[in-house]
Amino acid sequence: MPRRADQSRRFFASKTTPSGRPQLVILGTGWGSYSVLKNINKKVVDVIVISPRNHFLFTPLLCSTTVGTLEFRSIIEPVRNTGFRNPEHFHHAEAVGLNIEKQVVTCRSSLKNHKVYDVPYDKLVIGVGAVSNTFNVPGVKEHAFFLKEVSDARGIRNRILSNFELALQPGTSLSEKKRLLHIVIVGGGPTGVEFGAELYDFVKQDVSRLYREEQLLVRVSLIEGRKILSAFNQKLQQYAEKKIKARGQMELIQSNVIDVTSDSVTLQDGSVFPCGLVVWSTGLAPRPFVESIDFPKTPAGQILTDGNLRVKGEPSGNVFAIGDCADIEGEGLPCSAQVAERQGRYLAECLSKDNHSQPFKYQSMGMLAYVGDYKAVSDTPALKTQGFNSWILWRSAYLTRLGSWRLRMQVPLDWTKTMLFGRDTSQF
């Protein structure tokens, strides 16, 4: 172990805080963890956050950044803006180990990879989320783009714009142009469908203006082994399917991908699709940290908790798990931002009052998905609708759920700029 890491371990050797308040350590800055951080009463606990990401990301609008409908900074909120009692209470680091007997989390700095140290806790909240599931399909990690982080969206945006510019360069054959401008989306959940919708709007509104000759060469293939938007009402699924199939340059393919290369995907029937971009959005898998800790887990690798979100099999009762990395035993909750945010609020209230008498109860407020051309589908307990009115609801609902007033100002400005002046196609 490097000398600096040893010094860090000695520095964090004691759990006793000078304030006398218990030390709550939160892992992650996603929906669940950020909800705990925003709602916890910092007068009764010292809150430590450990995350390789120093911001909260409003994931429902991430697809909009891939084509420039929204700018990246319009959907992220620095976690330090929530207000820490001590600036040192945020650690730009990743949890790599957990010792429940000593009640310490082992961290590795995200800024200096060799720097490893322990952080003690009195209460621990594990909210590290999950990663995209590749299902061990060859080539996915090497050649496909995921859509989980701002860096993913930026990579997709740059690839799209690069491919258009390459298609315009002298000497590019027609077959190569078609390959470059063929975008394959694997996965027909809300992320895949909404990314396809944003692409459709981009092609219709901006490519037609900026890349006139190449517009007719653009092709988008959405590949899903089952039904798209499978969690939605059947009527809404059919509406979304109808909209996608009605678009001449978009196609919906019911199949599974068995191989991905740098310039193609292969389907289970042997069909090979040359393409310039593959976006992979087919479900979730546990992070290495979750895989490494010895707690009871679901078949999908999620940490099992009781109704109070306490980790099963953890004797102290001081460790909690929320969001996509966990599930309540016997519940089977959906992996969604809505669930994680509600769990965070519930846990913040319980920890602030040190009262866990009432178990967590989840009641869905519904689901929304954008399908392009100013149309969306809304599947809520009170309303199941589609079309333009649903698009208004989609935008209104997300606008009110943004993490701060700063974002609530920036996002409408971006929408207005896009409507008036088109999308920004700068590469950086």
Domains in the chain and their CATH numbers? 23-132+284-353 (3.50.50.100), 145-282+366-420 (3.50.50.100)
Between 14 and 137, whose confidence is greater?
A: 137
Enter the tokens of residue 365. Answer: 């407020």
For position 287, what pLDDT does the model report? Answer: 97
Q: How many CA atoms lie less than 13 Å away from 224 in the CB half-sphere?
A: 21
Cross-strand pairs, 98? 105
Q: What is the rounded distance in angstroms from the CA atom of residue 105 to the CA atom of residue 119?
A: 5
pLDDT exceeds 60 at position 89? yes
Is the model's pLDDT at 3 over the cut of 90? no
Residues 211-254 have pLDDT tens digits of 988 899 999 999 999 999 999 999 999 999 999 999 989 999 99
Element (H, E) at 107: strand 104-109
CB distance 116 to 106 below 8 Å:
yes
Q: Does 272 score more than 90 pLDDT?
A: yes
Classify the C-alpha dihedral 306-315-347-62 as positive or negative: negative
Enter the pTM of the model: 0.92
Res 16: pLDDT:
47
